[in-house]
A and B are shown apart, each in its own frame.
Chain A
Amino acid sequence: MQILEARNLKKFYREKGREVEAVRDVSLTLAAGEILAFLGPNGAGKTTSIKMIAGLIRPDDGWVRICDRDPHHQPQALKLLGAVLEGNRNVYWRYTPEENLEYFGVLRGMSQNAARKRAADLLERFNLAHKRRALVQSLSRGMQQKLAIAVSLMHQPSLLLLDEPTLGLDVEATEDVKRLVREIVQEGCAILLTTHQLAIAEELSNRVAIINKGEIVTEETTDELIRQFSGSAYVIETERPIDAERVRKLHLLGLECATSRTIHVADAPMLYQVLAILKPLPILQIQKDQANLTDVFLKLVRGDEA
């Protein structure tokens, strides 16, 4: 089921007489149970796009539908949406986690009773139960962020927007947040996630959309994108140095040894010819040249600048 549909979003800001083209053309779709990693360099327009989806910024052009409802004109659409926005505070620091959860639950349209029950559940699930009566300002950054996510889930939204949810978290808290994101999506929520930590995006996302200078440059499933950018090349590494005779034979195939023990091979047919030459030298490893999201990201974003 399609949860989010955003079409041709556009937002220009006027600042000190100068026009900033924050978002030029962004279209995104997201189905239930899907995580879309929304990646891009600083200032590319991610936060502006997310806030347009959340109804916080009015687009100059284009439209947004959340389960067929328009968050800019139908307040009921906001009941389907939860968001943890960039920056450090999405909750009240002078109140406790319990108070925050119950208050925001009611504000999202829950009854006091339902909010109390749900708050207790979430505190348990997010490992915050022991801190439920502590002031938020006294919690660690990781706990505060987990609470912000819990608050955004109070009313069981179909769509969750997470803008840089792991920014400034330590390793352990980052792992916690990753685990929670996986759990939430398994329950059928659709998640739109921005992050600068590409490894996290690669691990979590089903699909990736890359935005640069206000425009989406690529949108693909994560696996497909990585496959596309992975070459067909192999690297072979032997245990012992390759002898001069073999080096000469490899040279006839047009190959040079990178070091005395490694050799780069362009494709699969060539791989077997090379293996025939190397036989019976002991082989340490053969590895396919596998791209990661960082390579993809840099190629796309840099390529655009060239």
Chain B
Amino acid sequence: MITIFWAELKRQWIQQRRYALDSIAGILGIAVAFYGFFLTTKYAAGPAAQFGDRLDSIVVGYALWSLVTFIIADIAGGLQQEAFTGTLEQLFLSPFSPAKIFLTRALARLTVILVQIFGILLILMAVTGRFLSFTPTLLLPLVTVILGAFGIALAMGGLSLLVKQVQQILGFLPFGLFLAMLVPVETWEMPARLVGWLLPMTPGAGVLRELMARNQALDWGQLAIAFLNGGIYFAIGLALFKQAERIAKLRGRIGGY
């Protein structure tokens, strides 16, 4: 397991280095786009005193959103691409299960992306002049969000084994995720709040916002809910992927007949 992780990390590293311009352009592009977004929002809202909190929340939500979208598009899109070119079957010939390979891959990808996102955050903080607080406890809610993201990525990956036009669905995904990452459920009142707990990754994103943007202490109750949410989405995603794999093998669809 560790060995495949290193092999995947090496692959990612080679890819990043070989297509370094793409990666750097990607990071700069996201940073610039966000800066534009920041300026327009600031203009629209006027110089309101209350704005600081909200803006920080948006920065956190935005960073999370790009992370999650990246992971999901990367796994599902990558899987489809490999089915199309033919390497997917070689992956399925491994004694390691495909779910394991794709999760390890996602983890390696995540490691690389986290480094990049961190870079984006540093740029954003320098540009906006707002500094977010970083503490090790941040990792806990982050893990819950990533669990949820992996779950959705696995489900989408499974879907792409069965449906050829998964790209269209992936196209809509960012909007849905944008909502899930940015709705401030932590401020909602009770009945609505319950719904918020069910949305994918939303509770974890909420906890992160409280920690990073509002400098509040970690609410263990909220964190437990976030873990439950992430764990359930992950388990469902994994089950869906395994089911999709089974069906693809029955229909002779791996490798894209």
**Cβ distance B10 to chain A, nearest Cβ, rounded Å:** 8
Interface size class of chain A, counting residues whose CB lies under 8 Å from the partner chain = 35 or more
Residues 222-257 of chain B, each 1 if its beta carbon lies under 8 Å from chain A, else 0: 000000000000000000000000100111101100
B7 CB contacts on chain A under 8 angstroms: 102-103, 106-107, 112
B-side binding surface: helix, strand, loop or mixed?
Answer: helix
B168 within 8 A of A: no
By a CB distance below 8 angstroms, the chain A residues around B135 are: none
Interface size (B, Cβ < 8 Å)?
29
Is A30 positioned at the interface, with any CB of B under 8 Å from its CB? no
Bound together, the chains give a CA A81 to CA B89 distance in angstroms of 13
9 more CB-based (< 8 A) A-B contacts, given A83-B93, A99-B11: A22-B252, A48-B252, A56-B249, A56-B252, A78-B95, A85-B90, A102-B7, A103-B11, A107-B91
- Choose from A22, A58, A106 the contact partner of B4 (Cβ within 8 Å): A106
Say yes or no: is A11 at the interface (Cβ < 8 Å to chain B).
yes
| B contact residues around A81 at 8 Å (CB) | 93
B87 at the interface (CB under 8 A from A): yes
Cα–Cα, bound, A13→B3 (Å): 38
In the complex, A93 Cα to B11 Cα: how many Å? Answer: 13
Is B95 touching A54 in the complex (CB atoms < 8 A)?
no
**How many angstroms from the CA of A76 to the CA of B94 in the assembled complex?**
9
**How far does the alpha carbon of A104 sit from the alpha carbon of B250 in the complex, in Å?**
25
Q: Assess the B254–A56 pair: CB atoms within 8 A.
A: yes
Which residues on the B side are within 8 Å of A206 (C-beta)? none
| Cβ contacts under 8 Å, B249 to chain A | 56-58
B3: which A residues are within 8 A, CB to CB? 106, 111-112
Q: Identify which of residues 100-152 in chain B touch chain A, using a CB-to-CB cut-off of 8 Å.
A: 101
B92 interface contact, C-beta 8 A: yes
C-beta contact mask, A80-97 vs B, less than 8 Å → 1, else 0?
A: 011101011111111100
Q: Does A151 contact B (CB under 8 A)?
A: yes
Residues of chain A from 159 to 215 with CB closer than 8 A to chain B in the complex: none
Q: Are B93 and A92 in contact (CB under 8 A)?
A: no
Residue of B nearest to A109 (CB): B95
B89, A56: Cβ atoms under 8 Å?
Answer: yes
Say whether B86 faces chain A, with CB atoms less than 8 Å apart. yes
Q: Is B14 located at the chain interface by the 8 A CB criterion?
A: yes
**A55 interface residue, CB < 8 Å from B?**
yes
Residue contact A108 to B94, C-beta cutoff 8 Å: yes
Can you spell out 28 A-B residue pairs with CB atoms less than 8 angstroms apart? A13-B251, A13-B252, A51-B89, A54-B93, A56-B89, A56-B93, A56-B249, A56-B255, A57-B252, A57-B254, A75-B95, A85-B86, A90-B89, A91-B87, A91-B90, A92-B87, A94-B15, A95-B11, A99-B14, A102-B7, A103-B7, A103-B10, A106-B6, A106-B7, A107-B101, A108-B93, A108-B95, A112-B3
> Which of B4, B93, B97: most chain A CB closer than 10 A?
B93
Set of chain B residues within 8 Å of A103, measured between Cβ atoms: 7, 10-11
Q: Are A104 and B4 in contact (CB under 8 A)?
A: no
Minimal beta-carbon separation of A48 from chain B (angstroms): 6
A91 to chain B, nearest CB (A): 7
Q: Is there a chain B Cβ closer than 8 Å to A261's Cβ?
A: no
A155 nearest CB neighbor, chain B only? B95
A107 and B94 form a contact (CB under 8 A)? yes
Cα–Cα distance between A79 and B94 once the two chains are bound (Å)? 7
- With contacts A99-B14, A107-B4, A107-B101 taken as known, whether A89 is within 8 angstroms of B94 at the C-beta atoms is no
Q: Are A51 and B86 in contact, with the CB atoms below 8 A? A: no
Report the nearest B residue to A87, measured CB to CB.
B86
Docked complex Cα distance between A90 and B91 (Å)? 10
A54 to B95, CA, bound (A): 11
Cβ of B187 within 8 Å of any chain A Cβ, yes or no, is no
CA separation between A108 and B6, bound complex, in Å? 14
Q: Smallest distance from the beta carbon of B229 to chain A beta carbons, Å?
A: 31
Cβ-defined partner of B96 (8 Å) among A48, A57, A75, A88: A75
> What's the least CB distance linking B120 to chain A, in Å?
25
The docked-state distance in angstroms from the alpha carbon of A112 to that of B87 is: 20
Q: A13-B252, A57-B249, A89-B87 are in contact. Are A78 and B11 (CB under 8 A)?
A: no
Query: A291 to chain B: closest CB distance in Å?
Result: 35
Q: Known contacts A57-B252, A93-B85: does B4 contact A78 (CB below 8 Å)?
A: no
Chain B contacts of A107 at CB under 8 A? 4, 7, 91, 94, 96, 101
Bound-complex Cα distance A104 to B101 (A): 12
Please determine whether A90 and B87 come into contact, CB atoms closer than 8 angstroms: yes
Minimum CB distance partner of A76 in chain B: B95
- Cα distance, A82 to B89, chains bound together (Å): 11
| A78 to B4 Cα, complex, angstroms | 16
Instruction: Evaluate whether A151 and B14 lie within 8 angstroms (CB atoms) in the complex, with A106-B7, A107-B101 already known.
Output: no
Closest B residue to A75 using CB positions: B95
Q: Are B255's CB and A85's CB within 8 A?
A: yes
CB pair A90–B18 under 8 Å, yes or no, is no
Residues in chain B near residue A99, CB distance under 8 A: 11, 14
B87: chain A residues within 8 A (beta carbon):
89-92
Kindly report which residue of chain A lies nearest to residue B15, judged by CB atoms. Answer: A94
A92 to B94 CA separation, bound complex (whole angstroms): 15
Distance A106 CA – B249 CA, assembled complex (angstroms) = 24
Kindly provide the distance from the CB of A108 to the nearest chain B CB, expressed in whole angstroms.
Answer: 6
- In the complex, are the beta carbons of B86 and A90 less than 8 A apart? yes
